[in-house]
């Protein structure tokens, strides 16, 4: 069993209603990325790329799985908790964008979220500069590592905002309560 992230809209992509938290969904048949199975992503930033709506779900996947770098297709999936996150995502994007645009001159911020976004933007900007310098020297692996680190920092910050807004749910306890 693995913890992951999944965004939903009004219904599942196959037209079924969104299940209640704690209700397992099962896919019968072949598991195939982008075509068949119950999808999710290990990182929230990757799940956001497939979002049909603004509700973020912390999920567990189980059973047969197929993987790509940014997604998982599984035989089973359960929602542990969910949050209507459209407003948070919009605020995060605005803050991160504004912070990134002013990363070289911003020294303070008005809110914790904006302050965090400024720090992330600074880190991303520094990583991008370092990656570009490394790429100029022909060190493509170093450039990719720097960009990956910046994306990881961005992902961690977004996850922290979502968790705070959801009341910091204990994923392990929720998963354990589901039983085997």
pLDDT of 112 higher than 60? no
Per domain, the residue ranges of the chain are 2-84, 88-165
- Considering only residues 49 and 104, tell me which one the structure prediction assigns the higher pLDDT: 49
Query: For position 97, what pLDDT does the model report?
Result: 64
Query: For position 80, what pLDDT does the model report?
Result: 96
Query: For position 102, what pLDDT does the model report?
Result: 53
Query: For position 150, what pLDDT does the model report?
Result: 74
17: CB partners within 8 A, 6+ apart: 11
- Considering only residues 161 and 130, tell me which one the structure prediction assigns the higher pLDDT: 161
Whole-prediction pTM value? Answer: 0.73
pLDDT of 99 higher than 70? no
Residues 53-93: pLDDT tens digits?
889 999 999 999 999 999 999 999 999 999 998 888 877 77
109: CB partners within 8 A, 6+ apart: 99, 115, 117, 118
The pLDDT-based confidence of 147 (bands split at 50, 70, 90) is confident
Inter-residue contact 153 to 96 (CB < 8 Å): no
Alpha-carbon distance of 123 to 113, in angstroms, equals 15
Query: For position 49, what pLDDT does the model report?
Result: 86
pLDDT of 48 higher than 90? no
pLDDT of 96 higher than 70? no
Q: Average pLDDT, stretch 135-154?
A: 69
Query: For position 119, what pLDDT does the model report?
Result: 53
């Amino acid at each position: 069993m693995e913890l992951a992230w999944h965004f939903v809209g009004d219904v599942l992509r196959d037209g079924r209603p969104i299940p209640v938290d704690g209700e397992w969904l099962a896919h019968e048949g072949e598991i195939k990325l982008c075509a068949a199975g119950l999808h999710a992503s290990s990182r929230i930033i990757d799940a956001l790329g497939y979002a049909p709506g603004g509700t973020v779900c912390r999920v567990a996947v189980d059973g047969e799985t197929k993987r790509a770098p940014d997604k998982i297709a599984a035989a089973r999936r359960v929602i542990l908790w969910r949050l209507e996150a459209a407003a948070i995502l919009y605020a995060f994007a605005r803050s991160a964008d504004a912070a990134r645009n002013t990363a070289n001159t911003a020294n303070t911020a008005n809110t914790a979220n904006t302050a965090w976004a400024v720090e992330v933007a600074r880190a991303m900007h520094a990583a991008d500069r370092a990656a570009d310098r490394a790429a100029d020297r022909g060190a493509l692996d170093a450039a990719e590592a720097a960009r990956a680190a910046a994306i990881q920092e961005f992902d961690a910050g977004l996850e922290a905002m979502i968790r705070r807004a959801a009341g910091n749910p204990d994923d392990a306890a929720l998963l354990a309560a589901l039983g085997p």
